[in-house]
Structure 1
Amino acid sequence: MGRIFPEAWAEFSNHAKCRPGERPADAYARRLAGEDRDDAEAAALAWVRWESTHVSLDPL
């Protein structure tokens, strides 16, 4: 989906806060399960924006 929505993918992957060698999905899973509620909420909102873009096929 990143090829279809490159700007949305760039935003999603840039907000993932990946550790070296970590994939964006794994970074989001780590953040969502973490104890920092503010960071988990920010991760959840970034994930929802990404999902809304490619599920609807209409960039936000």
Structure 2
Amino acid sequence: MTCQHCVASVTEEVNELSGVQEVVVDLATGRLRVVGDVTTDQVQAAVSEAGDYTAQPA
């Protein structure tokens, strides 16, 4: 992610997942934190759907 538009795209897509309570994206570190009842696979798919992004579990 390189800009606030990227952050907004990823945040919006992940927020659409059923069970998500909170999404926090840190542009400086490229980290994404998701709170809720979702799987890593669901989050990775949503991040990919948001654009040309990938997510790796921490």
TM-score range relative to shorter protein = 0.3 to 0.5
**Larger helix percent:** 1
| TM value normalised by structure 2 | 0.38
| TM value normalised by structure 1 | 0.38
Larger Rg: 1
**Larger strand percent:** 2
